[in-house]
C-alpha cells in the first residue's frame, strides 16, 4: 500500500494501481478517449493528464503507477488548458457533421468538447477517406477516426484476431487491414468488438444506423445462440428490435460479443420465420392453433408409446436454451415418456 494525495484528499491504495484507477474508484472525474478497463494502458489521447508535484511535465494518469507520497492535482488551470488544447486539435481536424452523424449524443469527442467548452479555433486540414461499408456488419469512416487505437487493441488483446493496425505516418496515419484492404470475412471475424470501443463515428453498427441514441430503449437479456450465457442489451426503437449492444454489467461476457450475438436480430422479422404451428394434412403443411398442435402431438405420443414402447422415442435438446429448459426437457423424456434416450447437442 502507498499513501498519496489527490486534490487535497489523502488516499491509501495498492501500489499496482494507476492514478486513473484510483481517481475513478473514488469518483474523481478524469476524461479519457483511448482508455478502457479491459485493455492495456495506451496513453494516446493525452486527455487524462494530471499535474504531479515535483514532475516537470503533466503525466498521463492512465499509464502512471501511484507512488508513495505523490501529490496529484487533476483540475488546475494548467491541466484544464492542456485538455482543452488536445480537444481543440482533435476537433479542428474532425468532420463537423455532428447534426447528421449517427453517433451524435453518444460521441466521446463531442461530449468532452461540450464539457470543456471547446469550439474548433484552428481550422486544420481534414482527412478525406472514402466510407467503407462493404461488409454486412459495420460502416467505417476513417475521416472521423481520432487514432485512439481502441479498435486495434481490442482486436489484438481481447479478440486475438489482429485484423487491423495503425498504418502510415503523421497526419496520414489511419487504421486499416493488411495491404489496406477493406474489412470482410476474409480478413476479419466481423465480431464487432471494435464497434463497441470506438468513441466517435469512425465505426458504426449497420443495424443502428438511422436511429438516434435517445430514441433507443435498452432491454437486458440473454443471447440465444449458444450455451455460454452472454448478456447484452436489445436496442428497441419505434416499436421494434433494431440491434444489439453489449452490457458492461454482464458477468459472463462483459463488453464482448461474437458476430452471432451482435448481429442476429434480423431473424426476428424474417419473412421465412415460422410464426404459427403447422400440421401436415393430406401431404401438406397447414396452419393450426396451438391447442390443435399440442393435442396432435399428445395423441401421437400416446399411440407410439402404446404400439412400440417408450424406447421408440429419442430426444435431443439444444444449447441455445437455458439450463432450466434443458432440465425440464430431460425430465419430460424420462418421466412423461419413460425413456432415457435423451442427449444434448453441445456434447458433440
Tens digits of residue pLDDT in 39-66: 999 999 999 999 999 999 999 999 999 9
Q: What is the CATH number of the domain that holds 191?
A: 3.30.70.20
Q: Most distant CA pair in the chain: distance in Å?
A: 90
Q: Residue 23, exposed/middle/buried by CB under 10 A (0-12, 13-18, 19+)?
A: buried
The whole domain housing 73 covers 2-89
- Rounded to an integer, what distance in angstroms lies between the CA atom of residue 81 and that of residue 125? 23
Contact 246, 233 (CB under 8 A): yes
Three-state DSSP class for residue 47: coil
Q: Is residue 252 part of a domain?
A: yes
Q: pLDDT band at 336, cuts 50/70/90?
A: very high
Helix, strand, or coil here: 72? strand
pLDDT per residue over 132-162, tens digit each? 998 999 999 999 999 999 999 999 999 999 9
Q: Which of 23-32, 47-56, 298-307, 317-326 has the lowest mean pLDDT?
A: 317-326
pLDDT of residue 151: 96
pLDDT in tens, 228-276: 889 999 999 999 999 999 998 999 998 899 888 898 888 889 988 898 9
Please state the rounded mean pLDDT for residues 185-193. Answer: 90
Q: Are strands 49-52 and 71-73 parallel, antiparallel or unpaired?
A: antiparallel
Residue 104, in any domain of the structure: no
Contact between 32 and 62 under an 8 Å Cβ cutoff? The reply is yes
What's the CA gap between 299 and 80, in Å, rounded? 76
How much of the chain is helix, strand and coil, in % rounded to 5?
A: 30, 20, 50
Regarding whether 20 and 76 lie in a shared domain, the answer is yes
pLDDT bin (cut points 50, 70, 90) of residue 164 is very high
Question: Distance (Å, rounded) from C-alpha 253 to C-alpha 14?
Answer: 27
Same domain, residue pair 269 and 321: no
Q: What predicted TM-score, i.e. pTM, was given to this entire model?
A: 0.83
Residue 263 is assigned to a structural domain of this protein: yes
Amino acid at each position: 500500500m502507498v499513501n498519496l494525495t489527490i486534490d487535497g484528499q489523502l488516499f491509501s491504495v495498492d501500489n499496482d494501481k494507476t492514478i486513473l484507477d484510483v481517481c475513478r474508484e473514488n469518483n474523481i472525474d478524469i476524461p479519457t478517449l483511448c482508455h478502457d478497463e479491459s485493455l492495456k494502458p495506451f496513453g494516446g489521447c493525452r486527455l487524462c493528464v494530471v499535474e504531479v508535484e515535483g514532475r516537470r511535465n503533466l503525466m498521463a494518469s492512465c499509464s502512471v503507477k501511484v507512488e508513495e507520497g505523490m501529490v496529484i492535482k487533476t483540475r488546475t488551470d494548467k491541466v484544464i488548458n492542456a485538455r482543452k488544447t488536445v480537444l481543440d486539435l482533435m476537433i479542428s481536424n474532425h468532420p463537423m457533421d455532428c447534426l447528421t452523424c449517427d453517433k451524435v449524443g453518444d460521441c466521446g469527442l463531442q461530449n468532452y468538447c461540450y464539457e470543456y467548452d471547446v469550439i474548433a479555433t484552428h481550422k486544420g486540414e481534414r482527412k478525406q477517406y472514402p466510407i467503407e461499408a462493404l461488409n454486412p456488419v459495420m460502416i467505417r469512416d476513417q475521416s472521423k477516426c481520432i487514432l485512439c487505437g481502441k479498435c486495434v487493441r481490442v482486436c489484438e488483446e481481447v479478440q486475438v484476431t489482429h485484423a487491423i493496425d495503425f498504418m502510415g505516418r503523421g497526419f496520414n496515419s489511419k487504421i486499416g487491414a493488411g495491404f489496406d484492404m477493406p474489412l470482410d470475412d476474409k480478413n476479419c471475424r466481423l465480431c464487432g468488438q471494435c464497434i463497441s470501443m470506438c468513441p466517435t463515428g469512425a465505426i458504426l453498427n449497420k443495424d443502428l444506423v438511422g436511429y438516434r441514441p435517445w430514441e433507443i430503449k435498452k432491454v437486458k437479456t440473454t443471447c440465444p445462440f449458444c450455451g455460454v450465457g452472454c448478456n447484452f442489451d436489445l436496442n428497441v426503437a419505434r416499436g421494434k428490435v433494431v440491434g444489439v449492444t453489449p452490457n458492461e454489467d454482464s458477468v459472463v461476457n462483459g463488453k464482448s460479443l461474437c458476430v452471432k450475438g451482435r448481429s442476429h436480430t434480423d431473424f426476428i422479422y424474417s419473412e421465412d420465420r415460422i410464426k404459427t404451428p403447422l400440421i401436415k394434412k393430406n401431404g401438406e403443411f397447414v396452419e393450426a392453433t396451438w391447442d390443435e398442435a399440442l393435442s396432435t402431438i399428445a395423441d401421437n405420443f400416446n399411440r407410439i408409446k402404446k404400439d412400440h414402447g417408450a424406447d421408440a422415442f429419442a430426444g435431443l435438446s439444444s444449447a441455445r436454451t437455458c439450463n432450466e429448459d434443458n432440465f425440464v426437457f430431460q425430465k419430460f423424456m424420462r418421466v412423461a415418456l419413460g425413456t432415457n434416450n435423451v442427449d444434448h447437442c453441445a456434447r458433440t
